[in-house]
Amino acid sequence: MEESIKSHIRSHCVGTTAVVYASDYLNKLTGERIERECKKQLDSGARALVIDFSDTELVNSIGISILLGIIDIAEKIGALVVFSDVNDETVQLFDMLGLTRHVVLARDEQEALSGLSTPPTQTQAISH
């Protein structure tokens, strides 16, 4: 468990939005770190999460499962989840597995933040 303390997930807040940076490979270990950071930010009052995948090259099945857990936690408290900077292959994976029905996809972090600061118009809404 010492390893998880050494490797910190980068994050910062912009207003009530927390931006959390995923690692290059989203697996069990890194996924759990991201989940802890997202929970910490939500517990601290964040009303939206932007998970930035700009450095992420690969997401495995456990990483997907952890992302679903993060989405579930956020939905329970009414927080929005935005995935930004997701590469095409990962978008296809997220789409195939249904994650894109529960999150907003943004081209980059700036688009994610500007979309959260204005009323949704062209953002992907959750449909029921």
In a domain, 124, yes or no: no
Task: Using the predicted structure, report yes or no on whether residue 110 has a pLDDT greater than 80.
Answer: yes
In a domain, 19, yes or no: yes
**What's the CATH number where 100 sits?**
3.30.750.24
> What residues make up the domain containing 106?
2-117
Q: How far apart are the first and last CA of the chain?
A: 40
Instruction: Compute the distance between CA of residue 95 and CA of residue 101 in angstroms, rounded to an integer.
Output: 8
**pLDDT tens track for 28-78:** 999 999 999 999 999 999 999 999 999 999 999 999 999 999 999 999 999
Neighbours of 57 (CB within 10 A): 12
Looking at the structure of the chain, the number of domains it has is: 1
In a domain, 32, yes or no: yes
The mean pLDDT value for 8-26 works out to 95
Residue 98: per-residue pLDDT: 93
Mean pLDDT, rounded, of the chain = 89
In a domain, 101, yes or no: yes
Cα-to-chain-centroid distance, residue 76 = 15
In a domain, 83, yes or no: yes
Selection from 35, 9, 91, 96 nearest residue 104 by Cα = 91
In a domain, 128, yes or no: no
Give the chain's length: 128
In a domain, 122, yes or no: no
- Residue 107 — pLDDT band, cuts 50, 70, 90? very high
| Distant-in-sequence, close-in-space partners of 69: CB < 8 Å, separation ≥ 6 | 35
In a domain, 27, yes or no: yes
Residue 118: per-residue pLDDT: 59
Record the pTM.
0.86
Bigger pLDDT: 8 vs 87? 87
